[in-house]
Chains A and B, each alone.
Chain A
């Protein structure tokens, strides 16, 4: 698979994963770009030990995790008002709500549920995150439960 094909196939998927983690359009776009720069730099080292998808998702997840270094330099609460996330106005409210609920989950749960919603197989998620498949299965079940509770709670509020 050439880099251009990878970029075309995975851009939306990686962007959504980053959005699930950060719930901030500009930030998610930056991390998506950083991910593809790494993919471009390391593509020649890819040895088919995993599928290309797993490999790319791993890079993206780790780029997301790395953002905490930037967060600690500028905690979100201290961001200037104009930099706060403003989703595009045409985004459906249910979509906004879902991403808001996901953003409230612990970091690893955000990655797991984003991958699950992206239709990545649980065996592959296990490979990306570094947990066993059984662990992932249980976690996905629990995260979905938590997500449903949050989602319904917010839906009642609005």
Chain B
């Protein structure tokens, strides 16, 4: 098959759109990034502050003397903070890719990141919920004792029902939806990766 068409000449004739003022583009991108980051920090900071405030308030409000209240409060706060950090991708190193690597290495990196994200989202969300569940259960022991048998039972039944709903319905539903999205991306990445790995026989 002849390849006498001068592709290079045709290629070079492609109209190139007018170059935008790159300094302006960079400035805009920087502003956008800062705005997104500030929003993220502000929302997360607010959520954490409110949680800590309520736990501390309840702790002192009830003049707590039981160790379960302290352990429960700490578990809840730790779980919450860890979850927010991970779910917002603030653990940057875990999901960092190197755009200046060669395509082969970059694709491998992207595949690894996607798989890590899948683990984080599926396993850690469940782990977070369990931590939260244990934390709140422990934290509630003291106030519930003071509430009396009936209201105490109501409080625990509500807590268990909510946790069961979240664990057996909400999270699996979310994971299923995200899995489908990841599976598509991972499959595409794998296909491109195969284009590179299957070239070994050409040599």
Contacts and interface: CB of A to CB of B under 8 A. Distances in A.
Contacts of A106: 192, 195
Given A7-B22, A36-B22, A134-B203, A58 B17 contact: no
A54 to B, nearest CB: 9
Given A15-B16, A147-B7, A139 B202 contact: yes
A19 interface: yes
Nearest to B193: A108
Contacts of B26: 36-37, 40
A152 to B, nearest CB: 8
Contacts, number: 145
A29 B192 contact: no
Which of B7, B100, B101, B203 is most buried by chain A, counting CB atoms within 10 A of its CB? B100
A134 B203 CA distance: 6
Contact of B19 (A7, A42, A65, A66): A7
Nearest to B105: A130
Interface residues of A, number: 66
Interface string B21-38: 010011001000000000
B7 A58 contact: no
Interface in B48-89: none
B19 A95 contact: no
A135 B103 contact: no
A55 B184 CA distance: 29
Given A72-B181, A128-B102, A144 B15 contact: no
Contacts of A73: 181
A40 B100 CA distance: 12
Q: Which secondary structure dominates chain B's binding surface?
A: helix
Contacts of B110: 65-66
A123 interface: no
Chain B interface size, as a band, is 35 or more
Nearest to A73: B181
A134 to B, nearest CB: 5
Interface in A66-111: 66, 68-69, 71-73, 88, 90-92, 94-95, 98-99, 106-109, 111
Interface string A131-156: 11011001100001101110110000
Interface of A: 3, 7-8, 11-12, 15-16, 19-20, 25, 29, 33, 36-38, 40, 42, 45-46, 55, 58-59, 61-63, 65-66, 68-69, 71-73, 88, 90-92, 94-95, 98-99, 106-109, 111, 114, 117-119, 127-132, 134-135, 138-139, 144-145, 147-149, 151-152
23 contacts: A3-B22, A15-B16, A15-B17, A16-B12, A16-B16, A25-B17, A38-B99, A55-B100, A62-B97, A68-B185, A68-B192, A69-B185, A98-B7, A98-B11, A106-B195, A107-B195, A117-B12, A128-B103, A129-B102, A132-B203, A144-B7, A145-B1, A148-B1
